[in-house]
Amino acid sequence: MRKLNIDVFRYNPLDPESKPHMQTFVLDETPSMTLFIALTQIRETIDPTLMFDFCCRAGICGSCGMVINGRPGLACSTQTKDLPDHIVLQPLPFFKLLGDLSVDTGTWFRQAWERIESWIHTDKTFDPNEEEERMDNELANEIFELDRCIECGCCVAACGTALMRKDFLGATSINRLARFYIDPRDHRTEEDFYEIIGDDNGVFGCMGLLACEDVCPKKIPLQDQLGIMRRMTALQSVRGIVPKFLLDRLSPRRCGCSCSEQHND
Amino acid sequence: MQIFQSDLLCIGAGLAGERVAVAAAEAGFSTICLTLVPPRRSHSSAAQGGMQAALGNSIMGEGDCPDIHFTDTVKGSDWGCDQEVARLFAENAPIAMREMAFYGCPWSRVVPGEHTYYKGGKPFKAVEKEENWGLIHSRAFGGTAKWRTCYTADGTGHAVLFTLDNRLVQLGVDMHDRVQAEALIHDGDRCMGCIARDLRTGELRAYFARATLIATGGYGRIYKATTNAIICDGGGQICALETGMVPLGNMEAIQFHPTGTVPTDILVTEGCRGDGGTLLDVNLYRFMPDYEPEKAELASRDVVSRRMTEHMRKGLGVKSPYGDHLWLDIRHLGEKHITTNLREVYDICNNFLGVNPIHQLIPVRPTQHYSMGGVRTNKDGAAYGLKGLYAAGEAACWDMHGFNRLGGNSLAETVVAGRIVGAKVVEYLQGDDNTVFSTAAMRDAAARVQERIDILVSGRNGRENCYAVRDAMQEVMMEHVGIFRNGKDLQAGVDKLQALLERSQHIGLQGRNMGFSPELSMALRVPGMIKLALCSAYGALMRTESRGAHAREDYPERNDRDWLNRTLATWSEGATLPTLSYEDASPYFELPPGDRGYGGGKIIPGDIPADKIRPFGKAEQQEAK
């Protein structure tokens, strides 16, 4: 088994004495070792002050996004055997640094969901005695496919626009909105969606570098969703100029309730 | 010290905590949620299977109804549950599922026509009905008469949690993430909130609230091998226990799953064995048929877990740097089957173990999975002992699971109980206009927490390493309070845990951080975790019968004559053991104790008084007539 040299970014913003630096820890590699196991070992046997975030340690909760040898990814599902014996770990950029490898994703995501109003918009009220609204299973699967985002923040950390434009919503938010766009339970119109993401902090800020999709640990088709939402908002931006029937024909929105009608009017 | 005030304080923001928060916020009450991690990272998100509710839309669930769901739940609990609560749960589950659909959950839906399903490893065909197109579908889970488990592909917990959290954002519920509750504020009569630690800055804060909910999930981390997330350390139960007056129920009732993977303890599904996977020992010998000639690997979860442990105790486990394990072999199922029907298993093995299950063996061992016990509440979710304190979800002992919970019932419980308890919390808040909070009680609680922190930081009482003490506790729990239990081992376990509790008084920090210290979080938790461990171990020692997941080798019978009851554990200040008392398992019986129909085992029958027997089916309505 190899000896691993793990270089970890260290900085405690609450400590006036602390200066950002790299610290090297040496560990014996064990079978099936992941970065979760390695970092936990470092904290519990070498340096108890080391800050990092893990929760489910199973690639489900999105807590442990960090930059691993230069690339954002989930530490819990990264095995040391897939890395060279020199490993460099840094916190995700873009998010507020809390200390060492720990960043504040919670605050950022909450404000993003408030900005894009990440919920079903409807005038209906829930009736406990009524049968559920029916839905085609294929559509349910398509919605879930986009809902699989675990909000690890890797896509935003890898995003060129986000690094330059601090209010950029990022691929995760555009994907989240795309999820509501195809959900017939959400009664927002294309105009509503345009108001939310039809600017430089939304779909038009994207430079098309597409690192977001490259680093997404859940392999969500972020590129497609950006394309769909950009096309929809671009069409909205010329409403009043291009005739409505033409806009409707070009609109990418799909109706999920098998009624063969457009849903956005 | 910063002081926050709200009508409702939810400690924990997984599914149960969020569902109660939604109820309060909808009724116009100010609500603050405290959570160790951003809410969508809660352990609820890890539940893949689904939620049981008797909707009966799928062809294999046809004819299902709350009566059948109730019956399955009571049998599953080995008659340890509160039948009034199990009935409430079964009746309300379908409504809660539809409500989640209304809020946007992408439930998998019925697709009419012929489909291939798997049962016992064999494919069969079934035809879904045309008229049920697009309704919520359901899949099969163990211990149920019908296919009843609503699901969203392979990510039910994730999908429902995100749906619910969206609703919280919409309602503007205050979310304080990275905050750890350390002690409840109370005056011996009423709970008024909690003292918490800000995990960004390390500072203490006070939260005053008219009603406080504990919804912090399970306490699996008292075991070394657990499928639970690392945050499932029993923080909420510890806060309740430390009051000295709020009892925890059935802490000895702990469920194990046979196939947790080694080293990270991530679960691989029962479907592996269902589809024909086998268990092998260090000599690559298939041992299960020797113990269970008929069912072999397909015996119930508890039985398989027990046999695996028995076999490893004979020295036939595989040694590894992470402890002994056995092998799960699915190679013979072939590449096509593994990459389609068992895709999730294939991914887990590749991503977390570096094992390709098409060609390699999967390292597995029985792993702690679920805590049936928790903060004892009445059917409204109100904790015993303190007014204004509530609990819901895995953190609570509400108690619909008794001594064994069925797959799919725990995830359903979060939103069903959340809905019911949420309505009761709202009633309480509407009927209680007491907004006077005791600053003396707050200062007292804060001073105690601060004193503990000062001791840990200064090393005044010693420099024991908190991780070493925790590891020792986890080892004791695996060794002595595991799947097989007996008086001798349990007594030895209790003794060791008592010694560890003493040792934990001498913990001191090894490192020093300005602001937030991760080591301090653990150091503050360890003594409480050992107390929870003692509640489990001592409760298990005193319960001289076998019921559900509690299996005593020296008392193999389920004893309805003496033990048809629930253990209640409280902790007096300065004590080294919990004080145990007992209450009836159920206020009445719609379903009198009987044979579960699986698992075997002998029963010592009890005498149920005639006035405790109710006619079966909607007992409450009949009572109203």
Report the chain A residue with the minimal C-alpha distance to residue B419: A128
* pLDDT tens profile B346-365: 988 998 888 999 999 999 99
Q: Give the per-residue pLDDT at B121.
A: 58
Q: Give the per-residue pLDDT at B120.
A: 58
Burial class (CB in 10 A: 0-12, 13-18, 19+), B553: middle
Spatial neighbors of B525 by CB under 8 A, at least 6 apart, are B233, B235, B238
The verdict on B285 touching A (C-beta cutoff 8 Å) is no
Token output for B490: 């349990």
pLDDT band at B571 (very low <50, low <70, confident <90, very high): very high
Dihedral pair phi/psi, residue B364, rounded to 5°: -135, 160
**Any idea which residue has 């003594």 for tokens?**
B527
pLDDT band at A1 (very low <50, low <70, confident <90, very high): confident
Q: Which range marks the domain in which residue A30 is found?
A: 3-104
Token output for B194: 């909690």
The verdict on B467 touching A (C-beta cutoff 8 Å) is yes
CB contact (8 A) between residue B153 and residue A141: yes
| List of chain A residues whose C-beta atoms are within 8 Å of the C-beta of residue B109 | 134-137, 140
Strand partners, A145: none
* pLDDT tens profile A38-96: 999 999 999 999 999 999 999 999 999 999 999 999 999 999 999 999 999 999 999 99
- DSSP assigned state of A44: I
CA distance between the termini of chain B: 55
Q: DSSP H helical segments within B459-517, as ranges?
A: 466-480, 487-504
Chain A interface, best mutation among B173, B264, B419, by max A CB count within 10 A = B264
**Is residue A136 domain-shared with residue A203, that is, in the same domain?**
yes
Question: For all residues of chain B together, what is the average pLDDT?
Answer: 93
User: Which sign, positive or negative, has the C-alpha torsion B193, B197, B200, B201?
Assistant: positive
Domain endpoint, select from A72, A104, A136: A104
Domain endpoint, select from A87, A104, A121: A104
Q: Give the per-residue pLDDT at A21.
A: 98
* pLDDT tens profile B26-62: 999 999 999 999 999 999 999 877 899 999 999 999 9
How many separate helices (H) and strands (E) can be counted in chain B? 16, 24
Q: Which of A9, A2, A5, A3 is nearest to A89 (CA)?
A: A9
Answer for the pair B537, A35: CB distance below 8 angstroms, yes or no.
no
User: Residue B151 and residue B170: Cα distance in Å, rounded?
Assistant: 24
Q: Give the per-residue pLDDT at B63.
A: 95
Answer for the pair A121, B169: CB distance below 8 angstroms, yes or no.
no
Domain endpoint, select from A84, A104, A124: A104
Strand partners, B255: B370
CB contact (8 A) between residue A57 and residue B517: no
Q: What is the CATH number of the domain that holds A45?
A: 3.10.20.30
**Is residue A116 domain-shared with residue A60, that is, in the same domain?**
no
Report the chain A residue with the minimal C-alpha distance to residue B468: A44
DSSP state letters, B503-563: HHTTB--SS--SS--HHHHHHHHHHHHHHHHHHHHHHHHH--S-BTTBEESS--SEETTT-
Strand partners, B387: B190
What angle do helix axes B235-242 and B518-542 make, rounded to 10 degrees? Answer: 70
Dihedral pair phi/psi, residue B186, rounded to 5°: -155, 165
Q: Give the per-residue pLDDT at B82.
A: 98
Chain B interface, best mutation among A137, A173, A255, by max B CB count within 10 A = A137
Whether the per-residue pLDDT at A147 is higher than 90: the answer is yes
Q: Give the per-residue pLDDT at B142.
A: 74
Q: Across chain B, which distance is largest between two alpha carbons, in Å?
A: 72
Q: Give me the residue from B41, B95, B354 closest to A63, CB to CB.
A: B41
DSSP state letters, B326-385: EEEE-GGGHHHHHHHTTHHHHHHIIIII---TTTSPEEEEEEEEEE--EEEB-TTSBBSS
Lowest mean pLDDT among A236-250, B231-245, B396-410, B513-527: A236-250
**Is residue A96 domain-shared with residue A153, that is, in the same domain?**
no
DSSP state letters, A151-180: ---HHHHT-HHHHH-TT--HHHHHHHHHHH
| List of chain A residues whose C-beta atoms are within 8 Å of the C-beta of residue B202 | 14
**Is residue A150 domain-shared with residue A197, that is, in the same domain?**
yes
Token output for B466: 């908190």
User: Residue B106 and residue B125: Cα distance in Å, rounded?
Assistant: 25
Whether the per-residue pLDDT at B617 is higher than 60: the answer is yes
* pLDDT tens profile B243-262: 999 999 999 999 999 899 99
User: Which sign, positive or negative, has the C-alpha torsion B289, B295, B296, B299?
Assistant: negative
Spatial neighbors of B320 by CB under 8 A, at least 6 apart, are A31, B262, B263, B363
**Any idea which residue has 């060794």 for tokens?**
B479
Report the chain A residue with the minimal C-alpha distance to residue B172: A114
Residue B273 is among the residues annotated as catalytic for this protein: yes
Task: Work out whether strand B396-397 and strand B362-371 pair parallel, antiparallel, or are unpaired.
Answer: unpaired
3-state secondary structure labels for all residues of B130-159 = HHHCCCECCECCCCCCCCCEECCCCCHHHH
CA distance B94 to chain A (A): 9
Give me the mean pLDDT over the B397-425 stretch: 96
Q: Give the per-residue pLDDT at B298.
A: 76
User: Residue B68 and residue B614: Cα distance in Å, rounded?
Assistant: 16
* pLDDT tens profile B21-34: 999 999 999 999 99
| List of chain B residues whose C-beta atoms are within 8 Å of the C-beta of residue A32 | 262-264, 352-355, 363
The verdict on A1 touching B (C-beta cutoff 8 Å) is no
Reported in sequence order, the residue ranges of chain A that DSSP labels E, i.e. its strands, are 3-10, 21-28, 65-68, 71-74, 86-90, 96-99, 102-104
* pLDDT tens profile B514-551: 999 999 999 999 999 999 999 999 999 999 999 999 99
Q: DSSP H helical segments within B279-333, as ranges?
A: 288-291, 301-311
Answer for the pair B48, B157: CB distance below 8 angstroms, yes or no.
yes
**Any idea which residue has 């509750």 for tokens?**
B181
Report the chain B residue with the minimal C-alpha distance to residue A151: B40
pLDDT band at B119 (very low <50, low <70, confident <90, very high): low
Answer for the pair A230, A204: CB distance below 8 angstroms, yes or no.
yes
**Is residue A110 domain-shared with residue A181, that is, in the same domain?**
yes
Whether the per-residue pLDDT at B300 is higher than 90: the answer is no
CB contact (8 A) between residue A106 and residue B519: no
Give me the mean pLDDT over the B183-209 stretch: 97
In this prediction the ipTM stands at 0.94
Give me the mean pLDDT over the B104-130 stretch: 87
Q: Which of B307, B321, B408, B409 is nearest to B366 (CA)?
A: B307
| List of chain B residues whose C-beta atoms are within 8 Å of the C-beta of residue A183 | 104, 106
Q: Which of B287, B398, B282, B268 is nearest to B338 (CA)?
A: B268
CB contact (8 A) between residue A48 and residue B40: no
The verdict on A31 touching B (C-beta cutoff 8 Å) is yes
Task: Work out whether strand B484-485 and strand B558-559 pair parallel, antiparallel, or are unpaired.
Answer: unpaired
Task: Work out whether strand B122-128 and strand B204-214 pair parallel, antiparallel, or are unpaired.
Answer: unpaired
Q: Give the per-residue pLDDT at B606.
A: 93
User: Residue B279 and residue B287: Cα distance in Å, rounded?
Assistant: 7
User: Residue B521 and residue B535: Cα distance in Å, rounded?
Assistant: 22
The B residues from 543 to 602 touching A (CB cutoff 8 Å) are none
What is the interface size between A and B, counted as CB pairs within 8 Å? 211
Burial class (CB in 10 A: 0-12, 13-18, 19+), B452: middle
Q: Give the per-residue pLDDT at B624.
A: 43
CB contact (8 A) between residue B137 and residue A137: yes
Whether the per-residue pLDDT at A130 is higher than 50: the answer is yes
Q: What is the CATH number of the domain that holds A154?
A: 1.10.1060.10
The verdict on B376 touching A (C-beta cutoff 8 Å) is no
The verdict on B523 touching A (C-beta cutoff 8 Å) is no
What angle do helix axes B518-542 and B466-480 make, rounded to 10 degrees? Answer: 20
Q: Give the per-residue pLDDT at A253.
A: 66
CB contact (8 A) between residue A140 and residue B200: no
CB contact (8 A) between residue A18 and residue B514: yes
Q: Which of B378, B389, B397 is nearest to B251 (CA)?
A: B397
Strand partners, B382: B390
**Is residue A100 domain-shared with residue A121, that is, in the same domain?**
no
**Is residue A79 domain-shared with residue A118, that is, in the same domain?**
no
| List of chain A residues whose C-beta atoms are within 8 Å of the C-beta of residue B98 | 126, 128, 130-132
What is the tally of structural domains in chain A? Answer: 2
The verdict on A250 touching B (C-beta cutoff 8 Å) is no
Spatial neighbors of B314 by CB under 8 A, at least 6 apart, are none
Answer for the pair A59, A78: CB distance below 8 angstroms, yes or no.
no
**Is residue A125 domain-shared with residue A256, that is, in the same domain?**
yes
The verdict on B161 touching A (C-beta cutoff 8 Å) is no
pLDDT band at B321 (very low <50, low <70, confident <90, very high): confident
Q: For chain A, give the number of residues.
A: 265
| List of chain B residues whose C-beta atoms are within 8 Å of the C-beta of residue A106 | 37-39, 175, 177-178
The count of other CB atoms within 10 Å of the CB of residue B490 is 23
| List of chain A residues whose C-beta atoms are within 8 Å of the C-beta of residue B511 | 47-49
**Any idea which residue has 């905050």 for tokens?**
B179
pLDDT band at A265 (very low <50, low <70, confident <90, very high): very low
The verdict on A193 touching B (C-beta cutoff 8 Å) is no
The verdict on A262 touching B (C-beta cutoff 8 Å) is no
- Asked if the bond preceding B94 is cis, omega within 30° of 0, the reply is no
Q: Give the per-residue pLDDT at A215.
A: 97
* pLDDT tens profile A165-218: 999 999 999 999 999 999 999 999 999 999 999 999 999 999 999 999 999 999
| List of chain A residues whose C-beta atoms are within 8 Å of the C-beta of residue B264 | 32, 34, 36-37, 57-58, 76
**Is residue A94 domain-shared with residue A119, that is, in the same domain?**
no
Q: Which whole-number Å values give the CA distances from B27 to A114, B7, B112, B188, B517, in the listed order?
A: 21, 11, 40, 28, 38
Of B19, B87, B186, B273, the active-site residue reads B273
Q: Give the per-residue pLDDT at B462.
A: 97
- DSSP assigned state of B488: H
Q: Give the per-residue pLDDT at B618.
A: 60
| List of chain B residues whose C-beta atoms are within 8 Å of the C-beta of residue A101 | none
What is the residue type of A243? P
User: Residue B81 and residue B70: Cα distance in Å, rounded?
Assistant: 11
Of B43, B197, B205, B257, the active-site residue reads B257
What is the residue type of B117? Y
Whether the per-residue pLDDT at B622 is higher than 50: the answer is no
Report the chain B residue with the minimal C-alpha distance to residue A111: B169
User: Residue B359 and residue B232: Cα distance in Å, rounded?
Assistant: 34
**Is residue A43 domain-shared with residue A142, that is, in the same domain?**
no
The A residues from 91 to 120 touching B (CB cutoff 8 Å) are 98-99, 104-107, 109-110, 113-114, 117-120
pLDDT band at B623 (very low <50, low <70, confident <90, very high): very low
The count of other CB atoms within 10 Å of the CB of residue B170 is 18
Residue B257 is among the residues annotated as catalytic for this protein: yes
Whether the per-residue pLDDT at B620 is higher than 90: the answer is no
Q: Give the per-residue pLDDT at A256.
A: 40
Token output for A2: 């190899």
* pLDDT tens profile B439-472: 999 999 999 999 999 999 999 999 999 999 999 9
Instruction: Spell out the domains of chain B, with CATH numbers in brackets.
Output: 2-253+370-430 (3.50.50.60), 254-369 (3.90.700.10), 442-555 (1.20.58.100)
Q: Could you give the percent of chain A with pLDDT greater than 90?
A: 86
Q: Which of A134, A44, A12 is nearest to B109 (CA)?
A: A134
| List of chain A residues whose C-beta atoms are within 8 Å of the C-beta of residue B177 | 106-107
CA distance B71 to chain A (A): 23
* pLDDT tens profile B135-194: 999 988 777 888 899 999 878 999 999 999 999 999 999 999 999 999 999 999 999 999
**Is residue A121 domain-shared with residue A18, that is, in the same domain?**
no
**Is residue A208 domain-shared with residue A120, that is, in the same domain?**
yes
